[in-house]
């Protein structure tokens, strides 16, 4: 969880880094997954808006006049954070009371406590696992960088995306779920973004709640018994 949070924070900072202005209105015009950048539309016409905000929700005008390269960077960061948040929100719920499904713990023997401390427990028992986890996350990010990010050569901007790269499309679809029809693809990505935005708020809320009272989510809601004994785990709560 700590690594995921750090990665999200770093990604957020990177997303708002300056982008080269020279690639705005004259940038990519070829359709990417059915999307053709249109400067006259909100966020250059990228999907993700739902009624009653079909024209986009941006009360502070942060996206007004933003170059295409920067919009793509922001969307790349938003999609990446959405996916991490959806995994985090689901992971927190299934590893705590009353479900307590966790492949790294003998959860059937005892309540293993709030999810925000699970990696601390793993680190106390097997610190090499965190090194393995770091390498695994780094490998995934390395593949994303090779797929979507431009090579640092010529006129290059920090975290600049390839012109022929659609934000979030890392070409990983082992189940073949990606629609071939552009309209269906836009609908699917809108659903992913909406669920991801909710998950980012939800995961942040659950983490904050557990930091405040040190109790599991369903325990705080009164839907599960509090069986957690801090003395039963190898870390100090």
Q: Say which residue, 30 or 92, is predicted with more confidence.
A: 92
Domain range for 93: 2-232
Check whether 209 is labelled as a binding-site residue.
Answer: yes
pLDDT range class, residue 107, cuts 50, 70, 90: low
Q: Distance between CA atoms of 10 and 121, rounded to whole angstroms?
A: 24
Check whether 197 is labelled as a binding-site residue.
Answer: yes
With 90 as the cut, is the pLDDT of residue 166 above it? yes
Check whether 192 is labelled as a binding-site residue.
Answer: yes
With 80 as the cut, is the pLDDT of residue 2 above it? no
Check whether 163 is labelled as a binding-site residue.
Answer: no
With 50 as the cut, is the pLDDT of residue 21 above it? no
Check whether 178 is labelled as a binding-site residue.
Answer: no
Q: 114: how many CB neighbours lie within 10 A of its CB?
A: 26
With 50 as the cut, is the pLDDT of residue 31 above it? yes
With 80 as the cut, is the pLDDT of residue 7 above it? no
Residue 46: inside a domain: yes
pLDDT value of residue 139: 96
Where does the chain have alpha helices with state H?
A: 2-15, 68-94, 118-125, 127-148, 182-213, 217-220
With CA atoms as reference, report the closest residue to 44 among 201, 159, 171, 161: 161
Residue 237: inside a domain: no
Q: Which residues, including other chains, have CB under 8 Å from residue 122's CB and lie 6 or more apart? A: 104, 129, 130
Model pTM score: 0.82
CATH number of 202's domain: 1.10.3460.10
Residue 214: inside a domain: yes
Helix and strand numbers, DSSP H then E, in the chain: 6, 0
Check whether 151 is labelled as a binding-site residue.
Answer: no
Check whether 117 is labelled as a binding-site residue.
Answer: no
Q: What is the pLDDT of residues 172-184, one digit of tens each?
A: 999 999 999 999 9
Check whether 83 is labelled as a binding-site residue.
Answer: yes
Considering its fold, how many domains does the chain have in total?
Answer: 1
Check whether 160 is labelled as a binding-site residue.
Answer: no
In degrees, rounded to 5, the angle at the alpha carbon of residue 87 between the alpha carbons of residues 141 and 146 is: 15
pLDDT over 90 for what percent of the chain?
A: 62
Residue 217: inside a domain: yes
């Amino acid at each position: 969880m700590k690594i995921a949070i750090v990665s999200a924070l770093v990604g957020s900072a990177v997303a708002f880094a300056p982008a080269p202005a020279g690639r705005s209105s004259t940038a990519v015009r070829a359709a990417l997954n059915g999307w053709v950048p249109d400067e006259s539309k909100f966020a250059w016409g990228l999907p993700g808006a739902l009624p009653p905000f079909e024209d986009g929700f941006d009360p502070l005008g942060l996206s007004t006049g933003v170059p295409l390269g920067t919009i793509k960077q922001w969307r790349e960061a938003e999609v990446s954070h959405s996916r991490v948040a959806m995994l985090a929100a689901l992971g927190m719920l299934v590893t705590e009371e009353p479900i307590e499904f966790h492949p790294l713990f003998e959860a059937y023997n005892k309540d293993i406590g709030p999810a925000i401390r699970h990696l601390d427990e793993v680190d106390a028992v097997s610190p090499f696992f965190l090194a393995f986890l770091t390498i695994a996350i780094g490998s995934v990010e390395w593949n994303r960088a090779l797929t979507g990010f431009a090579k640092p050569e010529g006129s290059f901007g920090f975290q600049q995306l390839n012109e022929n790269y659609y934000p979030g499309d890392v070409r990983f679809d082992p189940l073949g779920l990606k629609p071939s029809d552009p309209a269906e693809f836009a609908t699917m990505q809108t659903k992913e973004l909406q669920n991801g935005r909710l998950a980012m708020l939800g995961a942040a809320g659950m983490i904050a709640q557990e930091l405040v009272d040190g109790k599991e989510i369903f325990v705080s809601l009164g839907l599960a018994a509090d069986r957690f004994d801090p003395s039963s785990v190898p870390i100090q709560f």
